[in-house]
Amino acid sequence: MPENHNHVTVNVGKKDDLDAKGCGIALLAVLLISGLFLLFVHPAVGIVMLVVVGVSVYLMVRGQRKHERRVAELRALTARKDARRAELEGLATVGPTGVCGFCGALEQHRDGYGVPFYPRAWHQGDIDRPVAELT
């Protein structure tokens, strides 16, 4: 049985990612509180810390949005590939008149040794190729 390699697996919010994100947020919170405290004791150091916290938060939010956009794109691509595959596999059947729905052959598909094939198995490459080319 042919394997289907056209599906895209997307892992979102794995536990390790969440732990790392939680540590990053906790570190930023500590730096923010320290920066606010240092603002009164050593204003220059406090300002630098607050700028570092601000830039870090900006970069985190930007990275998260970029990741979410990429995940949405991959899910849409997977949906398009699934729909196209279903459409092509729906064609690769024998109709009520005995004609192959994919290519219109009047006789059953047979290999060089006379072994018969179902239309879907015979046209598997013709189905896989256009699905894999979708981007």
Whole-number minimum distance, CB 90 to Zn ion, in Å? Answer: 13
CB nearer to Zn ion: pick between 49 and 100: 100
Q: What is each CA distance from 66 to 59, 61, 63, 108, in whole angstroms?
A: 10, 9, 5, 50
Residue whose entry in the numeric block shows the structure tokens 């601000």: 54
Residue whose entry in the numeric block shows the structure tokens 């500590």: 30
CB nearer to Zn ion: pick between 37 and 117: 117
Q: Read off φ and ψ for residue 5, nearest 5 degrees.
A: -110, 15
CB nearer to Zn ion: pick between 88 and 100: 100
Residue whose entry in the numeric block shows the structure tokens 């024998």: 94
Whole-number minimum distance, CB 85 to Zn ion, in Å? Answer: 17
DSSP assigned state of 100: B
CB nearer to Zn ion: pick between 35 and 119: 119
Whole-number minimum distance, CB 119 to Zn ion, in Å? Answer: 5
Residue whose entry in the numeric block shows the structure tokens 């895209």: 8
**Which residues of this protein are in contact with Zn ion, per CB under 5 A?**
100, 102-103, 105, 119
Whole-number minimum distance, CB 123 to Zn ion, in Å? Answer: 6
